[in-house]
Structure formats: C-alpha cells, structure tokens
Amino acid sequence: MYGILSLLKSLKGKGAMRRVLEITKKYPDSRPVRNLRNPAFTDDSRLANAVHMAEGSDRYLNPYPGTFMNYVRHKVKDRKMFGDLANWYRLNPEKMRVMNEWHQEMGSKGQWSQGFMDNMIKNDIAEMAKTNFTLRQLTDQEKYLLAVAKQRRMDAVKQQAKILPFPKKKFNTGGLASLMI
C-alpha cells in the first residue's frame, strides 16, 4: 500500500497522500480502503482508487458531513416533504446508514451515483407514503414522556388541583409525547 501512496504523492502531492493515509486509519473497513490494500487488484486500479479517495477526502474527513441529507435537501424541493422524509429516515436508521455509506463512498457527482441515489429517494418516498405513522410503536423516549405525564396527572388528582384538559385538536409538532407535557 505504501508504494501506492508514494505514487500518489508524486502525482497529487504530500497533502493528498496524508489525506488518504488518514482515511485508511479512520475507516479501515470501508470498501475503497479494502480495495486499496488488496494486492489482487492491479497497481493502476489501486492508484486510481487512491486518487479518487484523495479527491473526495472531504466526504470522509469532514467532521460534520451532512452527507446524504444535504443531497436530499436539494433534490426534494417541497419543505414539508423533506421534513417528512427526514423524520422517516430517523425512524429507519438502517436505510439512512446505507445511504450515508453510499454517498460517502461514491459522492454525489456523476450520473451513475446520482441516478442510483435518486432512485433510492423515490423508492423511500413511495415506501414512506405507504407507512401509516399512527400505527408505529412508540419510541422509548416517547414512552418515558407519556409515563411522566401520567404520573404528573395522578399527582395533580391526588392534590385536588384543577387540571386543564388536553387539547382535542392534533398538532403536527413532531410526536405524540410533545402534546402531553
């Protein structure tokens, strides 16, 4: 691998070599790093892989990679649809992880990678539209907040305090538990 890094240094400079070395230390199990270390690939292929990693190093080394959601923000123009999709990805972290890894490895420049990510967004929007969010199970935090609200209500009943009724109208504030407290 160090021979490839030496070639990269002569092509792109010392900074590129250092960025690739840092990526290999930080993400030893990622596909590009495994391919870079694999002697079964030709040196030309491994060098091209190292050049690709050096040019796209900000996807790996940026401490706040908006990664995939920044791409989605520019593709989904409707703010409400984007908010719903972001919430759906929060409820499905496995899908979000897959898309973040894809974006990290492939980037969002290039017709092939953009086409793949656009298809994934369309599929996820279709799947999100089929999901009835009212039937989903409560998260642990929502269960806790409901338990706290019930406990406060019971304590207030014991003290004969006047309790304001909960509002009948449903507000779209981001969860059932936010209404209770």
The DSSP secondary structure of 90-126, one letter per residue, reads HH-HHHHHHHHHHHHHH-S-SHHHHHHHHHHHHHHHH
Q: Give 23-46 pLDDT, tens digit per residue.
A: 899 888 888 888 888 889 888 999
Which of residues 17, 32, 61 is at a domain's end? 61
Residue 22's alpha-carbon distances to 32, 58, 120, 180, in angstroms, are 13, 11, 30, 47
* Domain boundaries, position 85: 67-134
Examine the domain organization and report whether 128 and 147 are in the same domain.
Answer: no
Give the pLDDT confidence score for residue 166 in this predicted structure.
61
Examine the domain organization and report whether 27 and 78 are in the same domain.
Answer: no
Section 170-178 average pLDDT: 53
Q: Give 38-83 pLDDT, tens digit per residue.
A: 889 888 999 988 998 888 777 777 755 556 777 788 788 888 888 8
Tell me the C-alpha distance between 155 and 174, whole Å.
27
Section 81-90 average pLDDT: 84
Which of residues 37, 61, 85 is at a domain's end? 61
Which of residues 61, 78, 106 is at a domain's end? 61
Give the pLDDT confidence score for residue 81 in this predicted structure.
84
Q: Give 99-153 pLDDT, tens digit per residue.
A: 877 777 776 667 777 788 888 888 888 888 877 655 567 777 778 888 888 888 8
Q: Tell me the whole-structure pTM to 2 decimals.
A: 0.49
DSSP, collapsed to helix, strand or coil, labels residue 28 as coil
